[in-house]
Amino acid sequence: MRRALARLAALSVALVPILGASGCGVLSRTSYWDDLKNKERTDSEEGEAHAVHFIGVRVSDEVAQFQVGVKLLHVFGSSPAARAGLEAGDELRSITPPRATGADKPAKVPVRSAEDVRKALAALSTAARETVEVVYVRGGKEHTTNVDLVHLPAYVEERRKRMFAEAAYGGSAFPFFYAHSTRRLTPSWIRTYFGIAVEDPVLVYEDFELFPIFGRISVMRRETADLYGGSRHTIVMWPFRITTANDDRTADLHDLIPARPEHTVDL
């Protein structure tokens, strides 16, 4: 067995100059996972209006006859609402805009529907960050807290960074023969950051290499990624390389995560 491995290693070493001479330097590259993780992004890439403030909650778009507030169905992880201590089940009653310099404290804006919340957020300035005072009810008692709002693309970028940092890694390898790695989003992570219940982890990245030699040089490599922010499907079989890639920007992970429930809206 050791002799066979030694021969395989020697063959791998011998292949390096051959690969380079035949123009296969493209095989020596970082993974698409790392490419996306390290990519510099701008708000405009998300396709969202820059001035849209995001509080980080999901609510119903329906209004009951005697409804006096807006019940929070979900509070997104690491969102302004979550950082302010709001929880699912709380009921928003009012939003007070920030006080302008030298002006009196503005009046509270009562909210009893998703549309009321949307209008209150739309009426704010276009500053990157705004702090509003929110009155909510929890357990029959009224509370007040300050929420530091951000623009929606800023939150999307924060969620994206957390996805790359927290996606569960899995993999196996046999030296000089193959390497296989995956990245999956756990059900609890998806529930926290997308407000969607799924039973199984969602595979968002897979990389399989046959005869990996040094670093990212391989005789054959198959790499697939369907992620928020883009996708790339690569098949490499020395000396040929086929790659498909796109920069599709969608509000979810390309249908990998189900859409939010009907009659709900994220604000």
Residue closest to 126 by CA, chosen among 94, 151, 160: 151
Percent of the chain exceeding pLDDT 70 equals 63
* From 22-36, 174-188, 207-221, the region with the lowest mean pLDDT: 22-36
Average pLDDT (9-21) is 45
pLDDT(150) > 80: yes
The verdict on whether omega for the bond into residue 239 sits within 30 degrees of 0, i.e. cis, is yes
Question: Among the ranges 21-30, 126-135, 226-235, which has the highest mean pLDDT value?
Answer: 126-135
**Domain positions in the chain:** 22-43+156-257, 48-151
Strand ranges (E), 24-128: 53-54, 57-60, 70-75, 91-96, 109-110
**Per-residue pLDDT tens for 169-187?**
998 888 878 888 888 999 9
**CATH ID of 48-151, from 2.30.42.10, 3.20.20.70, 3.30.1330.60, 3.55.40.20:** 2.30.42.10
pLDDT(140) > 80: yes
For residue 245, the Cα-to-chain-centroid distance in whole angstroms is 19
Average pLDDT (27-55) is 58
Q: What is the pTM of this model?
A: 0.75
Q: Are 55 and 121 within 8 A, CB to CB?
A: yes
**Per-residue pLDDT tens for 219-247?**
676 767 666 555 566 666 655 666 655 55
